Amino acid sequence: MRNVLIISSVALALASCATTPPHSARLDRAHTEVDTLAQDPLTQQVAAQDLESARQRLQQADAALQDKRPAEEVDHLAYLAERHAQAGEARIEAARAHQEVARADEERNRVLLEARAREAQNAKAQLAATQAQLADLKAKQTDRGLVVTLGDVLFDTGRATLKPGADLTLDRLAAVMKDHPQSKVSIEGFTDSRGSDEYNDALSQRRADAVAAALVRRGVSPDNVRAEGRGKAFPVATNDTPAGRQQNRRVEIVFANGPSRLAQSAGDSDSDTERR
């Protein structure tokens, strides 16, 4: 009886071994790796070939396991399947990094465009405000640039000391220049024809200097101001009448079209004659 039981147990054990499917831990890991790659949304875009190769090796490993080939062969095929899957995952990771860089560049460009649009809008608003300020000062556009003319009512006769009535005009001029720190002006003093050339040249220079100093006191950079006495040259009206002489006694503030206009020589009289 005892022998019968032993024989039965052995038979059951053999039957159990015959029905237990073959197993490989390495192959299980390969299946997990390949399934992970297959489920990634980017796989078909950038790693389709890697997935196909991994699946082929996986099928070969499964077949080898079912055929009860040596475990080394099964593990080797499973290893190859894993490597193909990992290569695909690396390719996907690189693609995601590239997408992140592209998104960052796109966001940066969007921010830059918005900033430039704001700058352009602010510049446009500032320009409109400046034009309004200069219009209040009766600025005139010439080929030399915008010209603001200060009449001799801002000075006592024969003197270069500014009267208090000049403060409002100078405040406005200083405000315009401080709003545009790149702007430069040429301040040019003129007289009527009475008196000697020497006297008129000196008086016109002192008056131009007085206006320049007043602007600097109001916060304008001295580097942006150039004062020049023109004497009785370039009259804008006749010197034969009191009204004409009053128009000729003036200080002009020229907002130059470009830096080269401010650097122009004071002795360039022929060009000035044409401009005036």
What are 221-242's pLDDT values in tens digits?
999 999 999 999 999 999 999 9
Residue 55 structural domain: 23-125
Of 1-15, 47-61, 82-96, the least confident: 1-15
Amino acid 78: pLDDT: 94
The letter for the amino acid at 85 is: A
Question: Which DSSP letter does residue 162 get?
Answer: B
Average the pLDDT over each of 18-22, 139-143, 164-168 and give the range with the smallest value. Answer: 18-22
Q: Does residue 194 sit in the same domain as residue 241?
A: yes
User: For 77-120, how does the pLDDT look when each residue is reduced to its tens digit (9 = 90+)?
Assistant: 999 999 999 999 999 999 999 999 999 999 999 999 999 999 88
Total of domains in the chain? 2
Averaged pLDDT, 181-210: 92
Last residue within a domain, chosen from 125, 159, 189: 125
Last residue of a domain, one of 69, 99, 125: 125
Residue 20: pLDDT band (50, 70, 90) is: low
Q: Indicate whether 60 belongs to any domain.
A: yes
Residues 252, 157, single domain; the answer is yes
Q: Are residues 89 and 154 in the same domain?
A: no
10 domain residue, yes or no: no
- d(Cα 62, Cα 21) in Å, to the nearest integer? 11
pLDDT (0 to 100) of residue 43: 94
Positive or negative CA dihedral for 252, 253, 257, 261?
Answer: positive
**Order of strands, sheet of 185-190, starting from the edge strand that comes earlier in the sequence:** 140-142, 145-151, 250-256, 185-190, 225-229
Same domain, 120 and 146: no
The whole-number pLDDT of residue 9 equals 53
